[in-house]
């Protein structure tokens, strides 16, 4: 399926819209991620963020995350957290009374402590999502969210993205993001971020995109060769 020029323009409209709302820093952050530069602190940071974000409002996560990070000794190292595991568990539970999520975070940190960060990083690079999904709470959407946040060029198939690509005639968010990425020379992970953030800002995004698609789907299809 060829991404139409109109759909590509629609994506750039969404991108400029979220920039106008003050979220250009998120675009710069996502676009600048490089897996090869991933550190031990960063991987623990992102694993914790994604676990907390699972099924939780973004505003709530932003409020409690710094407190959980403090309870986890500011993610200084897997070894240090391991050495103070009981206190970290106790302090984190005071912030978020969800033993499953806190235990999942600590189990991931313990895995790094036992097997080394370099080995974990290499396993993710080789086996990707399959390896990530061996950890607790790393389900279908969460594992892609984590992968995207540590610099892998993937899209997270959350409910917003699935709704959007279905409206645009696609069954698979990964296929849509990959095809659009190839045609407009942007990362699939960045396209995912733009569409997700747009959906959080436009409460009527389903109606907006449905109207746009109905208006443009009968127009001639051209291969997009656009840039922002």
Same domain, 127 and 197: no
Which residue segment(s) compose the domain that 53 sits in? 36-149
pLDDT value for 177:
94
Could you say which residues of the chain have pLDDT below 70? 1-3, 216-228
Same domain, 15 and 79: no
pLDDT value for 225:
41
* CA 77, 55, 140, 137 torsion-angle sign: positive
Last residue of a domain, one of 118, 149, 180: 149
Same domain, 142 and 160: no
* Cα atoms found within 13 Å of the Cα of residue 182, Cβ hemisphere only: 10
Last residue of a domain, one of 149, 173, 197: 149
pLDDT value for 58:
85
pLDDT value for 224:
43
| Residue 182 within any structural domain of the chain | yes
Same domain, 22 and 41: no
As a whole number of Å, the CA-based R_g of the chain is 19
Same domain, 29 and 101: no
| Residue 227 within any structural domain of the chain | no
pLDDT value for 217:
62
pLDDT value for 218:
56
| Residue 221 within any structural domain of the chain | no
For residues 20 and 194, give the distance between their C-alpha atoms in angstroms, rounded to a whole number.
12
Q: Of 225, 228, 221, which Cα lies nearest the Cα of 1?
A: 221
| Vertex 38: Cα angle to 16 and 113 (nearest 5) | 140
Same domain, 137 and 40: yes
Same domain, 128 and 209: no
pLDDT value for 3:
65
For residues 98 and 209, give the distance between their C-alpha atoms in angstroms, rounded to a whole number.
37
Last residue of a domain, one of 149, 170, 204: 149
Same domain, 116 and 168: no
pLDDT value for 222:
46
Domain count, the chain: 2
């Amino acid at each position: 399926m060829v991404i139409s020029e109109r759909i590509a323009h629609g994506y750039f409209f969404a991108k400029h819209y979220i920039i106008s709302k003050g979220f250009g820093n998120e675009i710069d952050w996502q676009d600048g991620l490089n897996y090869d530069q991933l550190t031990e602190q960063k991987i623990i940071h992102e694993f914790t963020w994604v676990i907390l974000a699972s099924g939780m409002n973004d505003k709530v996560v932003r409020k409690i995350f710094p407190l959980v990070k403090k309870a986890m000794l500011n993610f200084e190292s897997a070894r240090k957290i391991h050495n103070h595991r009981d206190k970290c568990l106790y302090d984190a539970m005071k912030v978020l009374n969800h033993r499953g999520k806190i235990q999942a975070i600590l189990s991931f940190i313990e895995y790094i402590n036992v097997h080394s960060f370099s080995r974990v990083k290499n396993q993710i690079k080789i086996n990707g999502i399959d390896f990530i999904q061996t950890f607790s709470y790393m389900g279908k959407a969460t594992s892609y969210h984590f992968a995207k946040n540590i610099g892998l060029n993937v899209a997270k198939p959350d409910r917003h993205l699935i709704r959007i690509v279905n409206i645009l005639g696609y069954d698979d968010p990964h296929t849509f993001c990959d095809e659009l990425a190839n045609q407009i020379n942007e990362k699939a992970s960045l396209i995912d971020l733009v569409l997700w953030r747009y959906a959080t800002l436009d409460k009527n995004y389903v109606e907006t995109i449905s109207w746009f698609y109905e208006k443009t789907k009968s127009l001639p299809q051209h291969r997009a060769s656009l840039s922002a």
